[in-house]
Amino acid sequence: MIKTIYTITLCIFCLHSALGKKPNILYIMSDDHAAHGISAYGGRLAQIAPTPNLDRLAKEGALFKN
């Protein structure tokens, strides 16, 4: 899984460097953090501990669901 993420990230960087544009990528990684802890995913903790900044990033960018 991690190998796939690194490969995709490398491909994105190569694609953008070929076009001459600088990529605008924000990659957030946390240890022992479940999806239900981020309200953008609509989890159980959305009402108890909202994450408005992560919600805004998810709304304006891409949200991966696996």
Look at residue 38 and tell me if it is in a domain.
Answer: yes
Range of the domain at 63: 24-66
Query: Exposed, middle or buried: residue 38 (CB in 10 Å: 0-12, 13-18, 19+)?
Result: buried
Q: pLDDT per residue over 17-63, tens digit each?
A: 656 666 678 887 878 777 778 888 887 888 888 889 888 988 888 88
Q: What's this model's pTM, rounded to 2 decimal places? A: 0.52
Residue 34 lies in a domain: yes
CB neighbourhood size of 9 (10 A): 13
Residue recorded with tokens 């981020």: 38
Report the domain count for the chain.
1
